[in-house]
Amino acid sequence: MVVFCAATGLRSAELRGLTWDRVDFDTSMITIDRQLLSMNSKDAAWGPLKTTSSRRNIHIGTHSLQLLKTLRAGPQGPAELVFHADGLVIIRKSASQVWRSARDRVPGLGETGTGWHQLRHYHASQLIAGGMSPVAVAHRLGHKDATETLKTYGHLWPDDDRKRRPSRTAV
């Protein structure tokens, strides 16, 4: 679940609420159109996303797709949930325990942030380093618009001043 979150940038409730009917293996896409609201581990309950802009289709890479195929072949969770804990719904508190356990195994990660939101930041930084535009990153993360994305991650885009400066040999 931690690896899939880092690869997709989903919010915790979007990740925990992902069901198999929202996974398209043929197109390598997942549909994010609801989030998990469950407060107990026995029953899955869904609700609306954080914002209307959070509704999106996300392309997933080959490693993420293979991870989903492996999970699909294993024991199934309640209500067709992709991620579950021995057949139980993963509520927010349980997800936090999973995150802390995973975080503590990676040297240096414990100091860089807390909670699942840190994985969204990691995902966004990878998209930006890969050359994605602010608009594309905003869509991928479910932000309202690129302004929100730039307010949060603007410092990560390369400085264009270097492109405008003439080289010393040209002077």
The two three-digit tokens of residue 75, written as one number = 């024991």
Please give the pLDDT value at position 163.
58
Across the range 11-38, mean pLDDT stands at 96
Please give the pLDDT value at position 168.
63
User: The tokens 């380093």 sit on which residue?
Assistant: 129
Please give the pLDDT value at position 2.
84
Q: Where are the alpha helices (DSSP H) in 74-116?
A: 92-105
Q: Spell out the domains of the chain, with CATH numbers in brackets.
A: 2-111 (1.10.443.10)
Mean pLDDT estimate for the chain: 86
Quote the percentage of the chain above a pLDDT of 70: 87
* 117 pLDDT higher than 80: no
- Higher pLDDT residue, 103 or 77? 77
- Higher pLDDT residue, 170 or 51? 51
Please give the pLDDT value at position 162.
60
Across the range 20-41, mean pLDDT stands at 95
Please give the pLDDT value at position 40.
84
- Alpha carbons 54 and 144: distance in angstroms, whole number: 7
- For 57-76, write each residue's pLDDT tens digit: 999 999 999 999 999 999 99
Query: Distances in Å between the alpha carbon of 109 and those of 88, 102, 118, 121?
Result: 28, 9, 10, 13
Please give the pLDDT value at position 18.
97
* 113 pLDDT higher than 60: no
Contact 115, 96 (CB under 8 A): yes
Residues 6+ apart with CB under 8 A from 22: 30, 31, 32, 33
- Alpha carbons 17 and 83: distance in angstroms, whole number: 8
